[in-house]
Structure 1
């Protein structure tokens, strides 16, 4: 067997100090600082939350919503496909029998924990009834209590599709 010897670089005292690399990095940072300081109007920043993003397209995944039939009942049939597909295990469903003639069952309880959600969209892809979507356009969700980040069925059905994303 042939053994290949690979030479190791950085053995000199100058390389071990890392000072030239640090100086090079500081030089690049200082060049950007001077350039941005001279032309402040050309900076690519926005004053969030006063200025909201306008570049959201229809594929943007925001906070979830449950879709409804024409009579405002949920389309969800409590098949548990979304909860099964969820890698974060943040969807909790409790089913009950349905007597309104649409389907056999519906969710008695449907909760999504937004603090555990990774917003991957697998729940939307897995849903056979197109009952769950992530097209609300809500991208910032703040609160001071953890309980506010757990959205129940009522809150999910109250979320509407974003008007900005409707034009896409």
Structure 2
């Protein structure tokens, strides 16, 4: 049994190409006159007089990273390396160290983000179990003359503030110390649901 080839046959309209060109030009002309003559609410494209008028970033805009601090000013990060592992651009560098606080096993001695390598995917924010890193600053990285100026350390990331509406749920994600009458066990399962909408487990 032979192989039967089935193919579409072009009509005279497709073979001439002229009707297709005219149809495309018609759409272009229609959009042009609608954007020029129509009222602003019916235009396809809204012209922004930049830089005199700047477009406000949407609420879910992924801005620069920041580290969420605890009440004592230390970062909520517990150096679990989840964000560094999830980052496809490998722009996060963490060096962990031991802490004297019995409620926290580790803390980041070094926490650096290379904003030039970041692809703004947000996977680091999704991977963090403690809601310690966010991209709710509403700002984008500023241009730099030297590459080293785009490396943000722990102090730099803690100094960056988030937008006011995203800071409402920030508080310490460390369980309070056990009372004298308690069992002495720290409940690590009691997390904090911050503005990021996730539960911190440390």
Q: What TM-score, normalized to structure 2?
A: 0.66
Give CA deviations for 1:126-163 in whole Å, capped at 9, x if unaligned. Answer: 2122211111122x333043333332212211111112
CA distance in 2, matches of 1:49, 1:100: 50
Contact 2:144 2:150 in 1 (8 A): no
- The answer as to 2:165 corresponding to 1:161 is no
CA positional deviation for 1:83: 0.5
**Long gaps (5+) in structure 1:** none
CA positional deviation for 1:118: 2.4
- The answer as to 2:137 corresponding to 1:150 is no
Contact 1:137 1:165 in 2 (8 A): no
Higher helix share: 1
- Which residue of structure 2 lines up, in the alignment, with residue 46 of structure 1? 48
1:57-76 matched pairs, under 5 angstroms: 57=59, 59-76=60-77
Task: For residue 111 of structure 1, give the secondary structure of its aligned residue in structure 2.
Answer: strand
CA distance in 2, matches of 1:76, 1:166: 17
CA distance in 1, matches of 2:144, 2:98: 36
Q: Which has the higher contact order (CA 8 A, sep 6+)?
A: 1
CA distance in 2, matches of 1:60, 1:3: 54
Number of residue pairs matched?
A: 165
Give CA deviations for 1:45-95 in whole Å, capped at 9, x if unaligned. Answer: 3334544444623x4422211011111111112111110011222211122
- Which residue of structure 1 lines up, in the alignment, with residue 5 of structure 2? 5
- Which residue of structure 1 lines up, in the alignment, with residue 118 of structure 2? 117
CA distance 1:26–1:61, shift in 2 (3 Å): same
CA distance in 2, matches of 1:93, 1:111: 7
Contact 2:95 2:108 in 1 (8 A): yes
CA positional deviation for 1:41: 3.8
CA distance in 2, matches of 1:15, 1:83: 53
CA distance in 2, matches of 1:158, 1:164: 17
- Which residue of structure 2 lines up, in the alignment, with residue 99 of structure 1? 100
Task: For residue 136 of structure 2, give the secondary structure of its aligned residue in structure 1.
Answer: coil
CA distance 1:70–1:113, shift in 2 (3 Å): same
Q: CA RMSD in A?
A: 3.0
- The answer as to 2:35 corresponding to 1:33 is no
